[in-house]
Amino acid sequence: MALLGLITGVEFMENAMFVFAASHVMGGIGASPRDFALVLASYAVGSMLMIVKQQWLAHRFGYRRYLTVALSLFALGAMGSAAANGLHELVLARFIQGVGGGALFTSSRILVNLMFKGAERGRAIRYFMIGVFSASVLGPVLAGALIEWAGWQSIFLGIVPPTLVAVVGAYLLLPDAEPRSEATALALQPLLLFAGAIIALQLALSEMRYDIFAHPLRLALLALVGATLLLGFLYQQWHHQTPMLHLRPLHNPVYLTGLGLYFMYYVLSNFSSYLFPILAEQALAMPTLTAGQLNSFAALISLLGIMVYLRLGAKLPRKKPMMVGGAVAIGLSAWWFAHLPPNASLEWLLPGLVAKGLFGVLLVIPVAGLTFRGLDDAHFAHGYQSKNLMRQLAFSMSSGLAAVLMQNRQFATHAQLSAAVQLDNPVMGDWMARVQGWLLTQGYDAAHAHLAAQALLERQLAQQAQLLACDDLYLLLLGMAALTAVMIAAQRKLA
């Protein structure tokens, strides 16, 4: 279980570090949010291609060899990402890392069921959940420390040592699966069909915010191509005798409802995780390490909540109120952050972080326990495979959307503030005169004092614009949380 927790943990930790450091990575390679969406999409595409072939590869080569190679690719992609000097290099490196990372979560969770039976399995699953949430606690604070000490590239190098430990452990300790008759051919045709579908859909999501008005026909055509290819892939898999995705056993209302709630959870969680570092670092001018510590504090609340739930969850026969409470918790967190004053201190952030931490426990753990209850061991692997495909799509979509919306709102609020702040305004004129007077007392000459005062004004405008943009996006998050709460309350399959 320590090894399986480590194999899953390296991917969760790396994802937490990457989302936390997203703005630093964009600045490091000089990428716009539109370009950055391609970086997100490349990891998601690589990961989903690996997930869709997970069963075939595991049966063909055995879990020991399969995960050893996957972890090696994950480490290779991380090192390539650290060495990237531009967008295209990072896109390629993240694709390689995604191919390796796509194997880790699904395979580890399936191995829990394969390697542990009876009462041991329940205990193993509890350790597995604690390991996953512990990795999420370590990720942000480690990313904050690495960025301050060694720059944005170090967030990729920081995950390499534990990944190499996992490589050795996987090779020495994991079992090899029995060969299966279904693992006889690579089946390139459906794989290429799926690859074309997800690439087209990812590009459509990446371009939607820009092209929906400027080039609506091009965007619609790209989305139509992706949807057609995906439907073709699903039709082919439904009728195939030995499919990559076993869809027939998953045609279960409980499972499909749980899959929808999983999707909403991942969208809300990743959207919030992208916003908070920007709020803390750029809008409230907190050090990067402090922002990482605050993010990890919220994850620690989730971990503590997990431990409480593992003790008391069985005594709660109805889980729906808890799931609604999770959606309400992220909504309260968003409302709190949207109403912070410009000079908010660290203590002001704690209530919102506590609510953010409780969100994960209250929503996703009951969903995880209820979604797969209708699937037996033979179909559990296929269900988890499909769930993790959806997870990658939700992560990529929500992060890309948050990045683009943040830039747009920052530009809009900065333009509004700049129009309102003119030097012919008596209040602004008085402020500039006082600042220039103070700078003159510090040894500046008149010309440089004027330039320095203007630079200070521009910096304060940029910070205020960033705060207002964060406020707007947190209000959007509040709306999404309210919609999620209504959906959970209305559904009848997961209670």
Q: What is the pLDDT of residue 157?
A: 95
Residue 183 — pLDDT band, cuts 50, 70, 90? very low
List of domains in the chain? 1-177 (1.20.1250.20), 250-494 (1.20.1250)
List alpha helices for 53-102, DSSP H.
54-83, 87-101
Residue of 137, 395, 144 lying closest to 269 (CA atoms): 395
Residue 184 — pLDDT band, cuts 50, 70, 90? very low
- What's the predicted TM-score (pTM) here? 0.87
Give the separation between CA 303 and CA 365, rounded to whole angstroms. Answer: 11
What mean pLDDT comes out for the span 429-445? 76
Q: What share of the chain is helix, strand, coil (3-state, %, to 5)?
A: 85, 0, 15
Residue 206 — pLDDT band, cuts 50, 70, 90? low
Residue 69 — pLDDT band, cuts 50, 70, 90? very high
Q: What is the pLDDT of residue 330?
A: 97
Run of H or E including 354: helix 346-371
What mean pLDDT comes out for the span 222-232? 83
Tell me: pLDDT of 246 over 80.
no
Query: Strands, E, within 336-482: which ranges?
Result: none
Cα distances (angstroms) measured from residue 442 to each of 29, 278, 428, 455, 472: 37, 32, 21, 16, 39
From 16-25, 124-133, 376-385, the region with the lowest mean pLDDT: 376-385
Tell me: pLDDT of 282 over 60.
yes
79 vs 182, which has greater pLDDT?
79
Tell me: pLDDT of 148 over 60.
yes
pLDDT digits (tens, 9 = 90+) for 115-134: 888 888 888 888 888 888 89
Tell me: pLDDT of 164 over 90.
yes
Q: In whole numbers, what is the pLDDT of the chain averaged over residues?
A: 86
Residue 456 — pLDDT band, cuts 50, 70, 90? confident
pLDDT digits (tens, 9 = 90+) for 462-495: 888 899 999 999 999 999 999 999 999 999 888 8
Residue 188 — pLDDT band, cuts 50, 70, 90? low
